[in-house]
Structure 1
Amino acid sequence: LLAPDGTQRADLSCPGATSLVAGVAYSAARTAAPARPAQLAVGCYNGALLLWDLGPQGVLARLQLLPGDERSATLNALAFSGNGQYLASGHADGEALVWKRGQAGKPWVGALGNTPLRHGQAVRDLAFHPTDPSLLASASDDSAARVWTLDLDGQGLARLEAGAANPGRLQHDRPVLGVRFVQRADDKYLLMTRSDKRVFFWSDEKTFDARLHADAVTDANPSADGELLVSSSADGTAQLWSSRAATAIAVMRGHRNEVTRAIFHPSGQSVVTVSRDRTLRRWQITRPVMLAAGRPWQLAAAIDPTGPRAVLCGEASAAAPGHCRISPLADLATRASTDNEWLAKVGADAVVRASFSADGRRVLGVGITHDVYQTTRPVLWDAASRQRLNPAWLDAWSWAAFAIGRAELVTLRPPVAPGGPEELAVWPQKALDGDEPGAPLLKLAVPQGHLSAAALSPDGRWLAAARGDHALLWDRNAPAAAPRELRGHRGDLRSLAFSADSQALVTASSDRTARVWPVAGAGAPVLLQGGHAGALTSAAFSPDGRQVLTGSTDSSLRLWDAATGRELATVERHADAVTTVLFGADGQQLLSTSADGTVRFDRCSACSLPADQLASQARAAVQLAGPPEAEDAAALAQGLLPRWLGGGR
């Protein structure tokens, strides 16, 4: 035990010249009733168990709970309950015991050689639930974690209702080396385990998400609010994760050997890592803004032009009350419940397109079936009541979307008769008020080819539609004129969008490129290529029209200069295909939906910073303690910048 100036105040070693420390647990002092001092428990290789009471000046008391000897099993794991009243000990022979403060003569639950808390092989880790000492989790070399429900008054295992098993068993493929309870605002009884190269996050005995490293995971711990997890690995990295999705938020690179520990600073704003390269590093973190997270794919989104909220749409799920929700632009952790966000469920397997009306009062989606026919139908909701609206005429169309910034909508439908033309129409928003829409503002017959999407420019003059590998562009001031064909892509168009000033159109294609087309003239497009490794799925202009954001099946977002085609930044925030990208109103926040089940809305302040300012932020991001030959902190941060700052160069 060291004083703040580094001088030794007490020797807390295991007894005997050859017995080494095998496990340690600490419980902070408690001032509320019942008050108690800080406690330190030490487990030894010879099976001895020691308990110290600690105060500001040093050791207040010492107890030897188990004497230990050459024949005793090594004491591998120790854990205090949240209130410090109970101590659990785990042994190399698979036994676990529970001790109670003030009852040091013998274990409170179990006895050596006769305990109900038993694994088939060595116990490697233990954890009490932070607020419920009757729940104890254990991890073992027998490839299982167990959750024991204790009867602390009866000094044994509790009898559970309806014949439920006690303990609950969480089976793994390999030895389980760590276990922790995770308390989140919306769920107080989640469990995290680590085994082989993975961190497992369990919501029940059969349901888990796995977070993967390239080598064995050496440590894993949750943040105080349960929203984030940090793990360290023999692969030389630590990773920051959300507890809501198996997607890495940041990869902390820079250590030159195995990273052995990773914990959150008490402030929750940084992570501390320890490595066999003899360095300790503290990393500043920026928390993600997670609008949605889950197993179903998130496929579409639109931001309400009248307020800070977005409609988020995706696959149907038995666990979700609908396909779409209207979410505030705030992290899930700040929302007490999402139950009132859901829009009424529709008869489709997924909703793949979403848009808000200009007044924010209605939402249009496009539902699709996952059968051989891939049938699509427009879906309309009232944004206030979240209920379906059913104008009969809309059912005759296969696709619909509101025009951005205008009280109009665009509809598409396939040929009424085989070999006939497809139809494209522009309607006033008031056409949705009843079953009889009246005459459309514009109706076009489009022969040859399948129309997959359409967009109306904010000034209302230009109408664009995607047809296979090219776009068609009509000038509404000359409705009788043939459309201009925008050709050059070598794959089908997945997305098209106008700039806010209606001067440019961006198209995103499965050929891994995007193009920015001048609308009013016949000039050559600006080609955005060379960055993405997969098909593009979405593209959007920044509010000032100077930048383009693209999303791809390669799971990345990329930011481009709209005038030159130069790639400005790469944003890696998803673990699967990005399905929609949008800019926030300030041009700094980027919204993205993904097939990894998440929707993110993070600020990308680094996306527009010059290299010298990025380097300055890198130095501020990493604090380094270690030998003189350790690398410069700025160099260490290079691997971290692309994720935690939201963009890389």
Structure 2
Amino acid sequence: MQILSNQQEVVHSFQLTTLKGHTDLVTNIKFSKDGKTVASASADNTVKLWDASSGKLINTLTGHTDLVRSVIFSPDGKTVASTSNDKTVKLWDTTSGKLINTLTGHTNQVFSVIFSKDGKTVASASLDNTVKLWDATSGKLINTLTGHKSGVLSVIFSPLGRTVASASIDRTVKLWDVNTGKLINTLTGHTGLVTSVIFSPDGKTVASANYDKTAKLWDVNTGKLINTLAGHTNSVSSVAFSPDSKIVASASVDRTVKLWGGSTGKLINTLTGHTDPVWSVSFSPDSKTVASASSDKTVKLWDATSGKLISILSNDTCQVYSVIFSPDGKTIASTGNETTVKLWKASEIRRLIRIN
């Protein structure tokens, strides 16, 4: 016999919406800060804006002449920036879909773009070995940050916007002063190309992911290495800080996700279950859930504290390369080696626990 206790358990149910319209692979996806809009970049040379609630197409942003690599919303949501293999950054009005500005000056593919927290500055990273800072309003070039010896794959602003970090094929991370454009520190120690770099939300730490099977944590103020996150048996494809800065998650081609102390770099948990390489990892806004995307055609959701598997979001049609949470944590967006974006909308079902 089963009886109902007074305790409740929370069960998540997911409703899937598929965003269709691109004619080539989707390369990057982002939510607007209010979570109402999704932007997708594609190898079909376009950016598309979608209503996150209904899944309907709002606008198609056309103008790039080659594959679009990355896309990002401005903090106020009024502008979208996109980067392309056509060596440009484009700024678009999210309401009208019209092109505001084309930022020209890079001499090779532009891999990454980011807005400063106040939305006044845009930073772009390129295979031409440079990072460029642009005025987001006028589109004018503010500064070119030179010093990397090979292409720059990733760029990010510190939470306060005073520092820019860049990750490069030359195996280094560089920290730059936004106001002067001068180099603050070069973080050396990786033995393979550095694929991505992120700041902790509190701005004290930088994490970098690398093909040398490690991630590294660095002290922003001193530039010194805090810890090398060693334990993966293949390349680290993605790193993410929890919003509370307490945990760093690393995804790897070795089919695992590892959770590390955000300030110490000590291993907390290894999340196993994927049967193919894991390419992307992301935290929910409340820091309680980790999402991982894999070539095994699934997104897995994990409890960040216990490391236990919560849910499996299965994608029968393609490998999954990217996964992100909406700002309210209720929607998960994923994309992979196909032309669509999938939105997984979570709803909580609270039910009384049955006791045998």
User: What is the TM-score with the length of structure 1 in the denominator?
Assistant: 0.41
Distance 1:584 1:404 in 2: 21
Q: How does 1:394-433 map to 2 (within 5 A)?
A: 395=126, 396-397=129-130, 398-403=152-157, 407=161, 409-415=164-170, 422-426=172-176, 428=178
CA distance in 2, matches of 1:404, 1:311: 23
Does the CA-based 8 Å contact 2:176-2:182 persist in structure 1?
no
CA drift of 1:427 comes to 5.4
CA contact 2:229–2:266 (8 Å) conserved in 1: no
Name the structure 2 match of 1:507: 250
| C-alpha separation in 2, matches of 1:286 and 1:293 | 22
Match of 1:345 in 2: 64
- Residues 406, 458 of structure 1: 8 Å contact kept: no
Q: Which residue of 1 aligns with 2:116?
A: none
Q: Does 1:493 align with 2:221?
A: no
Identical aligned pairs, as a percentage? 22
Q: Indicate yes or no: 2:27 matched with 1:299.
A: yes
Is the 1:560–1:567 contact (alpha carbons within 8 Å) kept by the matching residues of 2? Answer: yes
Question: Residue by residue, what CA displacement relative to the aligned partner does 1:531-552 show, whole Å, maximum 9, x if unpaired?
Answer: x221111110011111101111
SS at match of 2:225: coil
Is the aligned partner of 1:595 residue 2:337? Answer: yes
CA drift at 1:330: 3.8
Distance 2:62 2:206 in 1: 29
Q: What are the within-5 Å matches in structure 2 for residues 170-181 of structure 1?
A: none
Q: Which one of the candidate residues 218, 242, 259 is aligned to 1:474? A: 218
Q: Which amino acid aligns with 1:313?
A: A
Q: CA deviation at 1:293?
A: 4.1
Distance 1:361 1:406, change over 3 A: farther
Q: Which of residues 18, 30, 42 is equivalent to 1:290?
A: 18
In the aligned structure 2, how far is the partner of 1:457 from the partner of 1:286? 30
Change in Cα spacing, 1:286 to 1:412, as seen in structure 2 (3 Å) is closer
Q: Is the counterpart of residue 559 in structure 1 residue 301 in structure 2?
A: yes
Would the aligned equivalents of 1:502 and 1:519 in 2 still touch at CA under 8 Å?
yes
CA gap 1:586/1:390 in 2 versus in 1, 3 angstroms: same
Deviations 1:519-563 (A, max 9, x none): 112532311112x22111111001111110111111111110111
Aligned residues: 295
Counterpart-to-counterpart distance in 2, 1:610 and 1:485: 43
Matches within 5 A, 1:65-84: none
Matches within 5 A, 1:219-230: none
Are the equivalent residues in 2 in contact too, given 1:424–1:446 (CA < 8 A)?
A: no
Where 2:202 maps in the other structure, the secondary structure is: coil
Q: Is the 8 A contact 1:540 1:550 kept in 2?
A: yes
Kept in 2, the 8 Å contact 1:412–1:425? The answer is no
Aligned match of 1:541: 283
Q: Distance in 1 between matches of 2:155 and 2:78?
A: 14
Q: Determine which structure has the larger helix proportion and give its number.
A: 1
Give yes or no for contact 1:422–1:446 (8 Å, CA) kept in 2: yes
Contact map agreement 1:539 1:551 (CA 8 A) in 2: yes
Find the aligned partners of 1:404 and 1:573 in 2 and give their Cα distance: 34
What does 1:440-455 align with in structure 2 at a 5 Å threshold?
A: 440=183, 442-446=185-189, 448-455=191-198
1:295/1:596 contact within 8 Å kept: no
366 and 455 in structure 1: CA distance in 2 versus 1, 3 angstrom threshold: farther
- 1:310 maps to what in 2? 38
Could you say what the CA RMSD is over the residues aligned between the two structures, in angstroms? 3.2
* TM-score between both structures, scaled by the size of structure 2: 0.71
Q: What is the distance in 2 between the residues matched to 1:549 and 1:506?
A: 10
Question: Is the Cα–Cα contact under 8 Å of residues 496 and 507 in structure 1 kept in the other structure?
Answer: yes
CA–CA separation in structure 1 for the residues paired with 2:250 and 2:218: 15
Amino acid at match of 2:19: L
Helix, strand or coil: the match of 2:234?
A: coil
In 2, Cα distance between equivalents of 1:394 and 1:523: 31
State the distance in 2 between where 1:593 and 1:611 align.
35
Does structure 2 retain, via aligned residues, the 8 Å contact 1:505–1:518?
Answer: yes
For residue 312 of structure 2, the aligned residue among 545, 563, 570 is 570
Taking the aligned partners of 1:576 and 1:344, their CA distance within structure 2 comes to 28
- The one of 521, 526, 539 equivalent to 2:269 is 526
| Counterpart contact for 2:14–2:345, Cα < 8 Å | no
Q: Residue 488 of structure 1: CA displacement?
A: 0.7
Give the whole-Å Cα distance in 2 for the aligned partners of 1:497 and 1:550: 11
2:37 and 2:286 map into 1 onto residues whose CA distance is: 21
SS at match of 1:540: strand
Secondary structure of the structure 2 residue equivalent to 1:342: strand
Residue deviations 1:174-201, cap 9 Å, x none? Answer: xxxxxxxxxxxxxxxxxxxxxxxxxxxx
TM-aligned CA deviation for residue 446 of structure 1: 5.0
Deviation of 1:440 (Å): 4.7
Q: Contact 1:475 / 1:483 at 8 angstroms: preserved in 2? A: yes
Q: Is structure 2 residue 91 aligned with structure 1 residue 382?
A: yes
Is the partner of 2:301 in helix, strand or coil? strand
Counterpart of 2:48, as a letter, is R
Show the 5 A alignment for 1:253-292: 288-292=16-20
Q: Could you tell me which amino acid in structure 2 is paired with residue 503 of structure 1?
A: K
- Per-residue deviation at 1:590? 1.0
Provide the C-alpha distance between the structure 2 equivalents of 1:446 and 1:357, rounded to a whole number of angstroms: 33
* Structure 2 match to 1:13: none
Q: Decide whether the 8 Å contact of 1:361 with 1:382 is kept in 2.
A: no
Distance 1:443 1:567, change over 3 A: same
Question: Per the alignment, in what secondary structure is the counterpart of residue 317 of structure 2?
Answer: coil
Distance 1:360 1:342, change over 3 A: same
Q: How many angstroms does 1:409 deviate by? A: 4.5
Gaps of 5+ in 2: 1-12, 107-123, 131-151
Q: Flag the structure with larger Rg.
A: 1
Determine if contact 1:515/1:527 at 8 Å carries over to the other structure. Answer: yes
SS of aligned partner of 1:341: strand
Once the two structures are superposed, the pairs formed by residues 40-55 of structure 1 within 5 Å of their partners are none
On the 8 A contact 1:591/1:599 being kept in 2, the answer is: yes
